[in-house]
Amino acid sequence: MNKTINIRRLLVTILFILVISFIGLCIWIQDQYVVPVLMYHRISLEDEFPMNTVTPKAFAKQMDYLKRNGYQVITVDELVEGTKARKKFAHNTVVITFDDGYKDNYKNAFPVLKKYHFPAAIFLISDYVGVNRNLLTWDQIKEMSQNGITFGSHTRHHVYLPEESGQELKDEIQGSKKVIEEHLGKPVYYFAYPSGGFSEPIKSLVAMAGYKAAFTTNRGYDRYNIDLYELSRIRINSWDIPAVLWDKLSGYYNLFRQLRPSH
Ligand SMILES: [Zn+2]
């Protein structure tokens, strides 16, 4: 009789510990939520660089997926200001960004973004605008800037910043900001490190140049996006099936991922 009571007590204790652990785990996981910042490059049928290219059809489908499933697309400004204020973002929040400023963003992404009233940010290689014919023109940039697109800097020449130093490094960061501001007539507050490459001194230079935040790829260690100069992003591919997209949009995608070393 006594033995049965003891076993029952033991089982109740184990169950109690399991329930408490489960609740603790749920609270911990909730706390690790990060607003997903999506990273695109080309929106094109050309598949020279498949990792950097999403087809127009896949992009339209992905935006439709966001709309149909009630995701709230916010601006980089809202993300950064909210993060600074330690705002608890709704778990259906998402930010859309594009690197390099390809011309196909104007032709294949902009109409879709406009259709859904989704804001987005594009990071420009300032000294190649109007020079490289695959990239956006200043006229296109101005038009997009008046219609929900925020423009940021992606350096002057798309250099890998950890390999630069001195005045050249400074100029890639500060100079590109100035060039874009002069053309757009508005301040540029956001930066994206080419190939996600950065270091602590580079982060300081970006902050000193007057940027409010900077984005990496998935190289950053700051998987919780607390450091505004190391905001990590999630690459979106053409072949992301809805289940993968759901995972990437969950806010926990980076949580259990093995991060590549920081540069
Ligand atoms: Zn780039």
Cα 19 to averaged position of ligand 1 atoms, centre (Å): 47
pLDDT in tens, 160-190: 999 999 999 999 999 999 999 999 999 999 9
Amino acid at 137: T
Q: How far is the CA of 195 from the centre of ligand 1 (A)?
A: 6
Distance 217 CA to ligand 1 centre (A): 10
Q: Which pLDDT band holds residue 1 (cuts at 50, 70, 90)?
A: low
Nearby residues for ligand 1 (ion, Cβ within 5 Å): 99-100, 194
Q: What is the CATH number of domain 34-248?
A: 3.20.20.370
Among 225, 260, 194, 248, smallest CA distance to 38 is for 248
CA of 125 to the centre of ligand 1 (A): 8
Helix axes 176-184, 138-145, angle to 10 degrees: 70
pLDDT in tens, 42-73: 999 987 778 899 999 999 999 999 999 999 99
